[in-house]
């Protein structure tokens, strides 16, 4: 079949041209953050620097022709640490000296972050509402807020991390987590937010034999864990305000050009696309590590897929003709009208960013927009 222009304009997310959220932090912002860490500037000075950098990121997204904006996640050190630290004495980080095979020099398998849970999970205040309001007041485009998934903390430590310090009951941990995420989503909706992306990378990693082995070593059956995570995520989704358009991003790790897992979606696809009550998915598909498109045969007709075909990890600019062929291949399993395109992940899941330049980042985002316009007639 030939890829042809779509006929229906999308009024709501996901849009035909998407990006995952994080952008390369400007050097000036990183310098100010380092100065803040050394107590050389105040919090207000740092916030002013963040505001300037975010305004420039908004201008970039507007100039490229995207129909939504993110703040580039410029106020965060990493995509998950900022959020979870607001919920208690909780951390998810990579331990020094624990890079796994091939990680040195970029492009290899990096070490999985490790969770430490020293308090109960407890929501005390809106975490992302100020970020949403800043975007809302700076642009007429739709703000997209990105948050980590409700299972991210558990995935990095399992029941052992849950029970090590703060909990005697894993069910209580899950109840606290669901309550915290539900309150945050409600606060965002009350502020007027309409677009939220959940970054839950665990599902894409379950198909990796190395990950399965590591989970078994800590006492987790990876297949049973999928079912637990689906139940928890669905509890959050069912409690979320209906005004929110919520999509889920999945990838296999994205830290300074490194990755955490490899393997097809095949082993998780049927449950991922059917039992999980997410209406649209952002899927990593930029390299052979993700497998082919055949798992998409399980996607029900009421759901959409954003194909992450463009790599945020490398400087090579993808060929548009090749990308069109790949989209045509995906159409064998999901109709063109239910597809969109994006990079496979953000450009800076941690503040130090991936090994690409701002010029490459802009070129790749422009390619996403141009490809979407060529295929669907709109971004």
Does residue 176 register a pLDDT over 60? yes
CA gap 331, 327 in Å, rounded: 6
Q: Is 91 among the domain residues?
A: yes
Domain ranges, residue 182: 27-376
Q: Is 11 among the domain residues?
A: no
Count of domains for the chain: 1
* Confidence at 116, pLDDT banded by 50, 70, 90: very high
Looking at residue 38, its pLDDT comes to: 97
Quick one: three-class SS letters along 304-357? EEEEEEECCCCCCCCCHHHHHHHHHHHCCCCCHHHEEEEECCCCCCECCCCCCC
| Pair 296, 264: CB distance under 8 Å | no
* Confidence at 257, pLDDT banded by 50, 70, 90: low
Question: Residue 144 — φ and ψ, nearest 5°?
Answer: -110, 125
Does residue 236 register a pLDDT over 60? yes
Count Cβ neighbours within 10 Å for each residue of 33-53 and write b for 16 or more, e otherwise.
beebeeeebeeeebeebbeeb
> Which token pair is 93?
């980080």
Mean pLDDT of the chain: 91
Three-state secondary structure call for residue 167 = coil
Q: Is 260 among the domain residues?
A: yes
Does residue 114 register a pLDDT over 70? yes
Residue pLDDT, tens place only, 74-106: 999 887 778 999 999 999 875 443 343 433 334
* Cis ω before 233 (30° cut-off from 0): no
* Confidence at 9, pLDDT banded by 50, 70, 90: confident
10 Å CB burial of residue 357 (0-12, 13-18, 19+) is exposed
Q: Is 107 among the domain residues?
A: yes
Beta strands in the chain (DSSP E): 68-69, 90-93, 114-117, 142-143, 145-148, 195-199, 245-250, 280-284, 304-310, 339-343
* CATH, residue 243: 3.20.20.210
Residue pLDDT, tens place only, 326-360: 999 999 999 999 999 999 999 998 899 999 999 99
Does residue 10 register a pLDDT over 90? no
10 Å CB burial of residue 238 (0-12, 13-18, 19+) is exposed
| Pair 248, 281: CB distance under 8 Å | yes
Count Cβ neighbours within 10 Å for each residue of 100-120 and write b for 16 or more, e otherwise.
eeebeeeeebbbbbebbbeeb
The predicted model gives 54-79 an average pLDDT of 96
Residue pLDDT, tens place only, 15-60: 999 999 999 999 999 999 999 999 999 999 999 999 999 999 999 9
The distance from CA 33 to its chain's CA centroid, rounded to whole angstroms, is: 23
Task: Report the percent of the chain where pLDDT is more than 70.
Answer: 90
Does residue 107 register a pLDDT over 70? no
Question: In this predicted structure, which of 43-47, 200-204, 213-217, 306-310 has the lowest mean pLDDT?
Answer: 200-204
The predicted model gives 128-147 an average pLDDT of 98
Q: Which helix (H) or strand (E) holds 376?
A: helix 358-376
Q: Is 138 among the domain residues?
A: yes
> Which token pair is 330?
């995906």
Does residue 370 register a pLDDT over 60? yes
Task: Report the percent of the chain where pLDDT is more than 90.
Answer: 80
Q: Is 322 among the domain residues?
A: yes
Does residue 152 register a pLDDT over 60? yes
The distance from CA 164 to its chain's CA centroid, rounded to whole angstroms, is: 28
Question: pTM for this one?
Answer: 0.92
Q: Is 10 among the domain residues?
A: no
Q: Is 292 among the domain residues?
A: yes
């Amino acid at each position: 079949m030939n890829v042809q222009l779509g006929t229906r304009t999308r009024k709501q997310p996901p849009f035909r041209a998407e990006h995952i959220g994080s952008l390369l932090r400007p050097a000036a912002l990183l310098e100010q953050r380092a100065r803040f860490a050394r107590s050389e500037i105040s919090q207000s000075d740092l916030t002013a620097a963040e505001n300037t950098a975010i305004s420039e990121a908004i201008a970039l997204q507007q100039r490229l022709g995207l129909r939504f904006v993110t703040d580039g996640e410029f106020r965060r050190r990493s995509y998950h640490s900022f959020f979870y630290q607001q919920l208690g004495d909780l951390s998810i980080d990579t331990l020094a000296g624990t890079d796994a095979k091939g990680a040195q020099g970029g492009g290899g398998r990096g070490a999985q972050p490790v969770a430490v849970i020293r308090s109960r999970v407890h929501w005390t205040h809106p975490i992302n509402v100020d970020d949403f309001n800043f975007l809302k007041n700076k642009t007429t485009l739709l703000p997209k807020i990105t948050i980590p998934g409700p299972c991210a903390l558990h995935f990095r430590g399992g029941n052992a991390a849950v029970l090590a310090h703060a909990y005697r009951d894993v069910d209580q941990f899950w109840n606290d987590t669901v309550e915290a995420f539900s309150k945050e989503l409600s606060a965002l909706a009350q502020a007027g937010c309409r677009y939220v992306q959940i970054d839950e990378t665990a599902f894409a990693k379950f198909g990796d034999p190395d990950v399965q082995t590591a989970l078994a070593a800590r006492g987790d059956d990876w297949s049973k864990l999928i079912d637990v995570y689906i139940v928890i995520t669905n509890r959050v989704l069912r409690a979320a305000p209906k005004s929110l358009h919520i999509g889920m991003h999945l990838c296999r790790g994205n830290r300074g050009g490194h990755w955490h897992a490899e393997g097809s979606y095949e082993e998780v696809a049927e449950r991922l696309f059917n039992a999980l009550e997410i209406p649209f998915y952002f899927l990593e598909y930029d390299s052979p590590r993700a497998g082919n498109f055949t798992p998409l045969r399980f996607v029900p007709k009421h759901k959409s897929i954003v194909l992450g075909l463009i790599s945020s990890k490398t400087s090579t600019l993808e060929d548009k003709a090749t990308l069109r062929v790949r989209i045509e291949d995906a159409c064998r399993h999901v109709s063109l009208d239910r597809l969109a395109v994006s990079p496979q992940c953000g450009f800076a899941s941690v503040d130090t960013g991936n090994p690409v330049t701002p010029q490459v980042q802009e070129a790749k985002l422009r390619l996403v927009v141009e490809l979407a316009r060529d295929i669907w007639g709109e971004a």
